[in-house]
Structure 1
Amino acid sequence: MKKRTVKQELFYLFSMELLSALIFWVVYSMWAAAEPGGGKVAIVYPLFVLTVILVQGSLYWLNCLRRLKKQKALDEQRIARIYQAFKFIDYGLLGAYILVLLFTKSFSIVGVLIWLFAIIELINYFHYRLSYYTKSGLGLQIIKPLKLLITGTAVKSQIAREILSVQKGK
C-alpha cells in the first residue's frame, strides 16, 4: 500500500472526520425511524456532542491543509486560542450529559457509548494522539495507544502541541 503524502493525509483526515459525523446521523436516523421511541435525548445529545467534536477536528485538519498549500488559513496563535475555547466548551457539553441523564430520567446504553466515544475523540484531539494505523494501513490499533496512555509515553496531539507552543510563547 502506497503511503499518502502530507497533503493527502490532511485531506483524508478532514474529509473522514466530516463524513463520520454525517454517517453517525444517517445511521441514527435510520435506527430512530425503525425503533419505537428511538428519538431519545439520551442518544441525540451525546451524538450532537460527538458531531461537534468531529466537526472541530475536521475544520482543524482543513486549516492545516490550507496552511500547507499556502492558502488563506488561520495562523497558529489564532487556532490555539479558538481550540482552547473549543476544549472548554467540549468539556462543558460532555459534563452536561450527566445532567441530561439525571433530569430527563432517560438512560440509554447506546447514548452512554456514544458519550464515551466523544470523550475518546476529545482526548485524541486535545490531549494525546490515540489513532495509530496498523502496518498494512487498513485499520487502527487499539492496544498500542492504551499502552502508551497507561505508561505515560503517549505523544501529545497536534492541537495540544499548538496550544502549548502558543502558551509558552506568551
Structure 2
Amino acid sequence: MKKRTIKQELFYLFSMELFSAVIFWVVYGMWVRAEPWVGKAAIYYPLIVLIVILVQGSLYWLNCLMRLKKQNALDTQQIARIYRLFKIMDYGLLAAYIPVLLFTKSFSVVGMLIWLFAIIELINYFHYRLSYYTKSGLGLQIIKPLRSLISGTAVKSQIAKEILSVQKGK
C-alpha cells in the first residue's frame, strides 16, 4: 500500500474526524428517531459532547493542513491557547454528564459507552496518541496503544506537544 503524503494524511485526518462526527449523529439519530427527545438526555448529551470533541480534532487537523500549505492558519501559540481552553471545556462537559444522569434520573448503557468513547477521544487529542494504523493501513490497532498507555511509554499527542511547547516558552 502506498503511503500518503503529509498533506494527504492531514486532509485524511481532518475529513475523517468530521465525517465521524456527522456519521455518529446520523446513525444515532436513525437509531433513536422513534424515541422522543424528552428523557433522552442520558443518551443525547454524551453524543453531543463526543461530536464537539471530534469537530475540535477535525479543526485542528485542518489548521495543520493550512499551515503546511502556507495558507491563513493559526500559529502554534494561538492553537495552544485555544486548545487549552477546549481541553478545560471538554473536561467540564464530560464531568457534567454525572449531574445530567442524576437530574434526569435515567441511565443508558449506550449513553455510557458514548461517554467513555468521548473520554478516549479526549485522551487521544489532549494527552497521548492512541490511534495507530495496522500494517495494511486499513484499520486501527487496539492493543498497542493500550499497552503503551499502561506501561507509561505512550507518545504525547500532537495537540499536547503544541500546548507544552508554548507553556515551556513562557
Structure 1 length-normalised TM: 0.97
SS in 2 for 1:94: helix
SS in 2 for 1:79: helix
1:54 maps to 54
Q: Per-residue deviation at 1:37? A: 4.6
Amino acid in the other structure paired with 2:136: S
Q: In structure 2, how many angstroms separate the alpha carbons of the residues matched to 1:29 and 1:148?
A: 35
Amino acid in the other structure paired with 2:133: Y
Amino acid in the other structure paired with 1:143: I
2:90 maps to 90
Identity of aligned residues (%): 82
1:137 aligns with 2:137: yes
For 1:1-170, list aligned pairs within 5 A: 1-34=1-34, 36-37=35-36, 40-170=40-170
Q: Per-residue deviation at 1:28? A: 1.2
Q: In structure 2, how many angstroms separate the alpha carbons of the residues matched to 1:30 and 1:129?
A: 31
Gaps of 5+ in 2: none
Q: In structure 2, how many angstroms separate the alpha carbons of the residues matched to 1:147 and 1:10?
A: 26
Gaps of 5+ in 1: none
Q: In structure 2, how many angstroms separate the alpha carbons of the residues matched to 1:151 and 1:100?
A: 34
Structure 1: 4+ residue segments shifted above 2 A: 36-39
Q: In structure 2, how many angstroms separate the alpha carbons of the residues matched to 1:132 and 1:111?
A: 26
SS in 1 for 2:146: helix
Q: Deviations over 1:80-117 (max 9, x none)?
A: 00000000000000000011001100100000000000
Q: Deviations over 1:31-65 (max 9, x none)?
A: 1124x457611110000000000000000000000
SS in 2 for 1:120: helix
Amino acid in the other structure paired with 2:58: S
Structure 2 length-normalised TM: 0.97
In 2, are the aligned partners of 1:32 and 1:38 still within 8 Å (CA)? no
